[in-house]
Structures are given as structure tokens and as C-alpha cells.
Amino acid sequence: MLLINDLNVHFGAAHVLKNVSLSALPGAVTCIVGPNGSGKTTTLRAATGDVAYEGSITLNGHSLKRLEPWQAARLRGVLPQSSTLAFPFTVIEVVRIGLHTGEAGDQDHIALAALDKVDLAGYTNRPYHELSGGEQQRVHLARVLAQIPDAKPDDDPRWLFLDEPVASLDIAHQLQVMKIARDFADAGGGVVAVMHDLNLTSMFADKIVLMSDGSILAVGHPARVMTNATLSRAYRCDLRVSCPPPGNLPFLLPHAARAAAE
């Protein structure tokens, strides 16, 4: 379980996260949504130990501040909102960064399986810098999947922390990546994903954490969080949610939102 309690983050004089408390369960996809600058990435970066914070964060019962980097690397993989690479790596070399060294045997099959999962099986020796933006994003996801290939080895859940994993992907690959997240959770692992697409979030999330101005505005099942009043308040514009069949999941209809704005 990921447990964040009374989290506060300051950047200089700016109080960026204010008393944020949330939990995420293994076996579930937890999505953090909210407007630009609301604190989603900062919350995720605190949860991965990449930002100094006040408060308490535990992962599977371990205090984050006491986890050694190698222990954290075995427990969770992190897909940042953006990644830059300084060296002219090939695709497979980028994915190999995720592999754990010091283990017996050739592990390239793990890297190759991860590439296959993100639909880049034929890209192994392509120069990373020559790939499109969406392809590069999927290479980084493959790197994370190579680091955390199993959702629950030794009965200890592993975690994927994904910051906007579908941001630059076409609709087919968005669905594919969300399915990877769903399958990982269904296999017993935990997924925490920052999302902007509220409809994909509604389809795949077990729990939504809606942030606004560095605080949590609403938490719960999509049906509970995705209401006209709550979303309109968070995003400061008039938004309309429907629940169309089949499934009757909350769905933000852009034309309804546009009509509301006119």
C-alpha cells in the first residue's frame, strides 16, 4: 500500500503541496488528475523520493525515507512526465537501463518482452533520437516495465508510478498503455498514474484523486469524483458529464462542454 500522510512541499517561498493525504492500494489503478500546476507531478515525485517533503510516506509499510535506492528500485518503477537522454543510445540500450544488474543470466529477454508489450518489437537497434515523440515515450515505459517485470513476485506488490503515460500517444496506444496498467493492477501490483484525459481515467481508474491548488479536492470512484460540480470547480470552467451506455461510466463530452462555454 502507498500511504501519504500530511504531505507538504515547499519550493523556496512557494507552498506547493498543502497537507496532502492519500492512499493507493495494490490491485488497483489510482489516477491523480487536476489542472496544470495543481501539484500532481510534485505529489508523484514526493512518492518516488525525488522531492524533499514534510509528512510521512510509506510504501508497502516501508518509510520512504528509510528505503535505500536499490531497495526502492526493486519496489517501484517511475515514468517521469518528460525524459531527456544525453547520449546516442539505441532503443534496446535505453530499455536495458531498467534491468537490474548483478543477477545471473542474460536478461535481454526481459527488455525484449517489455518492448514487445509497448508495440516496439521491431525497434531494438533503432537510434532512440530518431524515434517520434510517442515512440520515445513508449521506449521509456518499456524501460520501466523492464525494471518491474512482475506485479507481485514473492507476494510483495510492486508499483508503477506513471506521470502522464499516454500524453503523446495515439488513441490505440493510449488504450494499450492503459491496458498494461490495468493488467499490472489485476495481477496484484499497484499503479499510480497522473492523467489529463478524464475519459480514459474514468474507463481505467479504480480511484481518482482530484487535485487543485496543491490540495486534494475530491477522492473516490470515478462516479463519485466526476460530477459537473466537482470538475467545474477544479478546472474553473463549466464542464458537463454524462453517463452513456454501455457501462454508464462518467464521460466528459467535449461538445457539451463547449455548449456550456458559449
Ligand X SMILES: Nc1ncnc2c1ncn2[C@@H]1O[C@H](COP(=O)(O)OP(=O)(O)OP(=O)(O)O)[C@@H](O)[C@H]1O
Rule CB under 6 A: which residues touch ligand X? Answer: 11, 14, 16, 34, 36-42, 81
* Cβ closest to Mg ion, residue 41 vs residue 136: 41
Interface with Mg ion (CB under 5 A), residue total 2
**Among positions 30, 38, 41, 147, the unique one binding Mg ion when judged by CB under 5 A:** 41
Query: Closest distance between ligand X and the C-beta of residue 200, in Å?
Result: 15
Query: Closest distance between ligand X and the C-beta of residue 78, in Å?
Result: 14
SS3 213: coil
Contact residues for 102 (Cβ-Cβ < 8 A; gap 6+): none
Interface residues for Mg ion in 66-85 (CB under 5 A)?
A: 81
* Cβ closest to Mg ion, residue 41 vs residue 174: 41
* Cβ closest to ligand X, residue 41 vs residue 120: 41
The interface partner of residue 37, options being Mg ion, ligand X, none and the CB cut-off 5 to 8 Å by kind, is ligand X
Contact residues for 59 (Cβ-Cβ < 8 A; gap 6+): 1, 2, 3, 47, 67, 72, 75, 76, 159
Query: Closest distance between Mg ion and the C-beta of residue 249, in Å?
Result: 24
* Cβ closest to Mg ion, residue 165 vs residue 250: 165
Preceding peptide of 80 cis, ω within 30°: no
CB atoms within 10 A of CB 43: 29
For residues 188-213, one letter each, b for 16 or more C-beta atoms within 10 angstroms of the residue's C-beta and e for the rest, the string is: bbbbbbbbebbbbbbbbbbbbbbbbe
Query: Closest distance between Mg ion and the C-beta of residue 50, in Å?
Result: 13
Query: Closest distance between ligand X and the C-beta of residue 224, in Å?
Result: 21
What order of strands is seen across the sheet that includes strand 190-194?
76-79, 159-163, 190-194, 29-33, 207-212, 215-220
Q: Read off φ and ψ for residue 214, nearest 5 degrees.
A: 80, 5
The interface partner of residue 173, options being Mg ion, ligand X, none and the CB cut-off 5 to 8 Å by kind, is none
From CA 7, how far away is CA 45, in angstroms rounded?
12
The interface partner of residue 36, options being Mg ion, ligand X, none and the CB cut-off 5 to 8 Å by kind, is ligand X
What order of strands is seen across the sheet that includes strand 14-24?
14-24, 2-11, 54-59, 62-63
The interface partner of residue 11, options being Mg ion, ligand X, none and the CB cut-off 5 to 8 Å by kind, is ligand X
Query: Closest distance between ligand X and the C-beta of residue 196, in Å?
Result: 6
> What would the grid cell of residue 151 be?
506485479
The interface partner of residue 4, options being ligand X, Mg ion, none and the CB cut-off 5 to 8 Å by kind, is none
CB atoms within 10 A of CB 3: 18
* Cβ closest to Mg ion, residue 115 vs residue 193: 193
Residues that bind Mg ion (CB under 5 A): 41, 81
